[in-house]
Structure 1
């Protein structure tokens, strides 16, 4: 399978590093205004306005590898634009991910190593799931979500489109996460969220005590 990656940033570099082990990645494309050189990671980098002439949609499939800019709207926009050019899409799923027979993963998804997706769950198109993440049974994850490393989503949850989950965020059983919800790192969600809202746990507090003194104090208290 011949693949073109949309993107020339950190996300595209990460996806290429993973995908090149099992896919035939032939080049990159990005908006004309973002091109400063003609190659990326040693492969051709072509303007998106002309990509179909160098990499025909009849031969090449595409993966959109951009971050969560504008709450994932940029990734969805480029997906739709590439689709209008006639491109089909594939998903990158690391070989360590067990795909149960009743799990559905749509196109243009990126799922990195050691992600656990339990039976009955569905992952919408254009969703990024980073390493060591757990998706519980019978979850419905809609399109264009960004789920960082260490996230745990309990069974029976519904995640609307274009949400962001920070590192080690977690969601209780059966919770509905509304469209474009931002859940910061280490935040636990136990109730349904509201569309477009931010949920942030209290950040780590700096104590006046020095680290060595605190270690001695905590040891004495144990």
Structure 2
């Protein structure tokens, strides 16, 4: 798909893994941004180029790509319940970069939706009137965000999540594929909602919501992310 946008802004993408690949594609072919470089912390820079563009250590990035000329996007997923992505944004702003957002041309976002900075909204998302989405939020493909609902800062909603009307999701939350939040549900800060969960009542902060019977237990982040890492290593390459 050829971009129909005039490239009026330059962009640096932080990251060299899958989300960086995806962000490059969307920004390149469906936004006014021209990606000019990738960056990562020096210890994680493995190659000099990516997609024909330079990969520059973050520690040195402003010497080559000035904050006066370039915007910045942190292509980091939900590690540490989105705190890692938040930290990348903070460090970029200290260097003087303005954070970029992406909203797919194939998403439906109503005119009075309040949208924070550094968001990434994929195709087939529906965001209804009077909803608000905080800073540093990722909405992967195909979600429904109902009217008057509020998604806090530093959240990650995967795909085919239904957020009904008047729902409130706190900061630092993850919502898994095919989850459903009924009208007037309140989710506290720092919650992990597993794939396929169905919620119709308030959820206390720092809860782990399991699928099936949607069991709710206290969230231990260290245990959760060790388990996710083991599962990832076990997948066939």
Instruction: Check whether the contact 1:7–1:30 (CA below 8 A) recurs between aligned residues.
Output: yes
| 1:42-84 per-position Cα deviation (integer Å, ceiling 9, x unaligned) | 2111111011111100000011111100111100011111111
Partner of 1:163: 173
Determine helix, strand or coil for the equivalent of 1:11: helix
Instruction: Check whether the contact 2:137–2:154 (CA below 8 A) recurs between aligned residues.
Output: yes
User: 2:12 aligned with 1:4, yes or no?
Assistant: yes
1:40, distance to aligned residue in structure 2 (A) = 1.8
| 1:15-50 per-position Cα deviation (integer Å, ceiling 9, x unaligned) | 111111132111111111111111123211111101
RMSD of aligned C-alpha atoms?
Answer: 1.1
User: 2:198 aligned with 1:188, yes or no?
Assistant: yes
Matches within 5 A, 1:32-111: 32-111=42-121
- Aligned counterpart in structure 1 of residue 21 of structure 2, from 10, 13, 16: 13
* Rg larger for: 1
Unaligned runs of 5+ in 2: 1-8, 214-237
Task: Quote the Cα distance in structure 1 between the aligned partners of 2:152 and 2:212.
Answer: 28
Matches within 5 A, 1:134-173: 134-173=144-183
Partner of 2:6: none
TM-score (norm 1): 0.89
Unaligned runs of 5+ in 1: 204-222
User: 2:127 aligned with 1:117, yes or no?
Assistant: yes
1:86, distance to aligned residue in structure 2 (A) = 0.5
Partner of 1:24: 34
Task: Quote the Cα distance in structure 1 between the aligned partners of 2:187 and 2:84.
Answer: 20
Determine helix, strand or coil for the equivalent of 2:99: coil
Q: How many residues are matched?
A: 203
1:202, distance to aligned residue in structure 2 (A) = 2.7
Task: Quote the Cα distance in structure 2 between the aligned partners of 1:153 and 1:79.
Answer: 26
User: 2:188 aligned with 1:178, yes or no?
Assistant: yes
TM-score (norm 2): 0.83
